[in-house]
């Protein structure tokens, strides 16, 4: 009985979710290029050299004609809808910026050699709570493949190849590459920018870590006469309240969107985060950044260390894996006392570009797509 009730609730919640989706009535247009998921849709216009494309947006909208076609065939699962949509569009090339969507890697097996698939890494990967951990721990023997996966670095590519049959190409961060570096003498002197990683739905241990780092920075900026800005994930009330409650008037908020995030990490003297992608992007742009990689000290997590899946010591020029405030303050002191020229040498000597490099304007990808268009006659 409980099983039946749970199933009914699940169905009801799905119907409720779809009820608020934007409804489309026209069949999707046929197109040589299909973007799988609307995630990152803003980057594709420039990236695809103004080629026309169709978007399979299953986060925010539902195509009722495609759904009706599925219902007539007595197919009711989400994957049936996705497959039907793709069949109607009949693309030669499918691209996604949602690189942790397991179903995407089943498309090659469904459509065989008819379609070229490309996945683009959009954030740091790990084992706990991420696609690599799911694939490693899965009891189901799933055949997963993609023609290409574009990754931040070679090591991530090798890790993905353990589970997915694919070619990989290291490109750095595609969104980061699209934003020019705005180095200037107008950096906000003696300033720290904390990249908020507060998520209301995250485990309590993660919230404790966010609070621990925030309080550490409040103490440090007060002792050392620095200013502290918090770059929020969004303007969600709970996130704002969290920092206001614990920080009072000792900091200021910096509003975030995908474009101005790069402006701010270029503008502040030192960027701080736990383990954010934006923090790595800051380093790739030649900025000073420090990481309090202590997540494993608050809860059991795997693959949440600096430079993973490569192996680095517990502390270094920009990071610590230890829950050690003094160690982290020493990292901040050294960064504030290092000139821009000295910092560039530190990055070079430590070969940070093996973790993430900066490819201004995405030259690597654009060259790749130019060749693919020629091969597929797009």
Cα-based distances in Å from 170 to 54, 57, 150, 174, 270 = 26, 27, 6, 10, 27
pLDDT confidence of 19, banded at 50, 70, 90?
Answer: low
User: With contact defined as beta carbons under 8 Å apart, do 91 and 32 qualify?
Assistant: yes
Check if the beta carbon of residue 197 is closer than 8 Å to that of residue 124. Answer: no
- For residues 197-208, give the mean pLDDT: 90
Whether pLDDT at 73 is above 90 = no
Three-state SS at 32: coil
Q: What pLDDT band is residue 332 in, cutting at 50, 70 and 90? A: very high
Tens-digit pLDDT profile for residues 223-259: 999 999 999 987 678 999 999 999 888 999 997 765 6
Q: Exposed e or buried b for every residue in 323-341, given b needs 16+ CB within 10 A?
A: eebeebbebbebbbebeee
Task: Please say whether the structural domain 188-354 has been given the CATH code 3.40.50.2000.
Answer: yes
Taking the domains of the chain in order of start, what are their residue ranges? Answer: 19-178+362-376, 188-354
- Note whether 19-178+362-376 and 188-354 share their fold: yes
Q: Indicate the CATH number of 19-178+362-376 among 2.40.10, 1.10.3470, 3.40.50, 1.10.10.
A: 3.40.50
Q: What is the pLDDT of residue 327?
A: 96
């Amino acid at each position: 009985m409980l099983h039946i009730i749970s199933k009914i609730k699940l169905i009801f919640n799905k119907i409720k979710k779809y009820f608020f989706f934007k409804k489309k009535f026209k069949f999707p247009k046929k197109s040589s290029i299909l973007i799988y998921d609307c995630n990152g849709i803003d980057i594709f216009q420039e990236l695809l050299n103004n080629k026309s494309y169709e978007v399979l947006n299953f986060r925010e909208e539902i195509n009722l004609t495609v759904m009706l076609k599925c219902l007539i065939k007595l197919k009711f699962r989400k994957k049936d809808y996705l497959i039907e949509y793709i069949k109607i569009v009949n693309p030669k090339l499918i691209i996604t910026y949602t690189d942790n969507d397991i179903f995407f890697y089943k498309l090659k097996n469904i459509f065989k050699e008819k379609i070229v698939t490309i996945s683009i890494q959009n954030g740091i990967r790990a084992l706990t709570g991420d696609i690599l951990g799911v694939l490693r721990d899965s009891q189901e023997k799933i055949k997963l493949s993609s023609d290409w996966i574009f990754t931040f670095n070679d090591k991530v590519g090798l890790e993905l190849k353990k589970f997915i049959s694919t070619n990989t190409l290291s490109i750095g961060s595609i969104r980061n590459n699209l934003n020019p570096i705005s180095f200037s003498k107008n950096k906000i002197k003696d300033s720290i920018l904390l990249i908020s990683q507060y998520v209301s739905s995250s485990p309590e241990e993660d919230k404790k870590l966010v609070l621990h780092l925030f309080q550490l920075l409040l103490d440090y900026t007060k002792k050392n006469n620095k200013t502290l800005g918090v770059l929020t994930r969004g303007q969600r009330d709970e996130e704002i309240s969290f920092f206001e409650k614990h920080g009072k008037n000792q900091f200021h908020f910096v509003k975030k969107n995908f474009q101005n995030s790069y402006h701010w990490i270029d503008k502040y003297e030192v960027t701080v985060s736990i383990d954010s992608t934006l923090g790595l992007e800051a380093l790739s742009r030649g900025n000073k950044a420090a990481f309090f990689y202590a997540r494993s000290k608050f809860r059991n997590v795997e693959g949440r260390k600096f430079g993973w899946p490569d192996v680095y010591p517990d502390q270094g020029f920009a990071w610590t894996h230890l829950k050690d405030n003094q160690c982290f303050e020493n990292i901040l002191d050294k960064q504030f006392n290092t000139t821009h020229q000295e910092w560039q040498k530190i990055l070079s000597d430590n070969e940070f570009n093996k973790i993430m490099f900066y490819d201004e304007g995405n030259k690597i990808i654009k060259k790749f797509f130019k060749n693919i268009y020629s091969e597929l006659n797009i």
